[in-house]
Amino acid sequence: MEFSRNLKKGMAGEDVRYMKDALFALGYYAKNIAKITNASFGADTHDAVLRYQTAKKLTVDGIIGKNTWAAVEADRGIAPPASAPAKPGEKASELVLWAQSRLGDVYAWGACNLSTITESWIRGRDTSAANAERSIAYWKKAVKWGLRDLRAHDCSGLVSACLIRQGIIGKKYDCDGLWKICKEIKKAELIPGDLLFRVNASNVSDKTHTGIYTGRGGVIHAKGRDTGVVFEGIDQNGASWWAKFGRLAAY
């Protein structure tokens, strides 16, 4: 049971019974007490607490506070509760909101919040004519669907655009550059505003794609030329699709 209040003589409740059972199991009640029968903090329990606190060199006051509670739990082999998970700061929340506002945008190689999209710009920057045509085809479909204020990004450009707006970086970073300004974390530690990375299959130090964790298992990323900026579940493409996780040092 997690510590929630100080327990002292005259109190009663489930937490009192829990602690009485614990102290009895540890052998701190008087020898004439054969078993625990109720959930009241009486004189016998007060004496048991005093004995325990004296033995453990705690403050001897007969009150089961945070330190006494923790000591009893440790003696029973129960680990303390995990610390509360980190919460996203203001800038991390801004990054998530930015990503959400750009859903449906166009993927274009090397783009970072490009507001004036042209076929010539896409063709002039992409890695091949075929790849350029894929981005152009998606852009035209998005316009037909009624999407407005479309902008273009590649995966790192989507993240970089917000970081530039926040004054954290001065220019677009590639995936490896973004990784370098992150502290590595575990997947289980992700909170909104953290970054996720794909890696080169033959060189894990080479980060090849990035996305933004939105919370509740969601990720927004500029996925590719045929889909643009999308929202997906973190394991939608396979549990190991995202291989590395980072928290921006500036956050």
What type of residue sits at position 62? G
- The torsion of the CA quartet 207, 213, 217, 220, rounded to 10 degrees, works out to -80
The answer to whether the beta carbons of residues 251 and 89 sit under 8 Å apart is yes
Which of the listed CATH numbers 3.20.20.140, 3.90.1720.10, 3.30.2130.10, 1.20.1630.10 matches domain 90-248?
3.90.1720.10
Give me the residues paired with residue 35 across strands: none
> Domain 14-75, what fold?
Muramoyl-pentapeptide Carboxypeptidase; domain 1 (1.10.101)
Q: List, for residues 177-217, the tens digit of each pLDDT value.
A: 999 999 999 999 999 999 999 999 899 899 999 999 999 99
- Residue 86: what pLDDT? 76
Q: List, for residues 93-130, the tens digit of each pLDDT value.
A: 999 999 999 999 999 999 999 999 999 999 999 999 99
Q: DSSP letters along 3-20, please?
A: --S-B-TT-BSHHHHHHH
Q: List, for residues 34-78, the tens digit of each pLDDT value.
A: 999 999 999 999 999 999 999 999 999 999 999 999 999 888 887
* Predicted TM-score of the model (pTM): 0.68
Determine the 3-state secondary structure of 217 from DSSP.
coil
Residue 15 falls in which region: left (phi positive, over 0), alpha (psi -120 to 50) or beta: alpha
- Break the chain into its structural domains and give their ranges: 14-75, 90-248
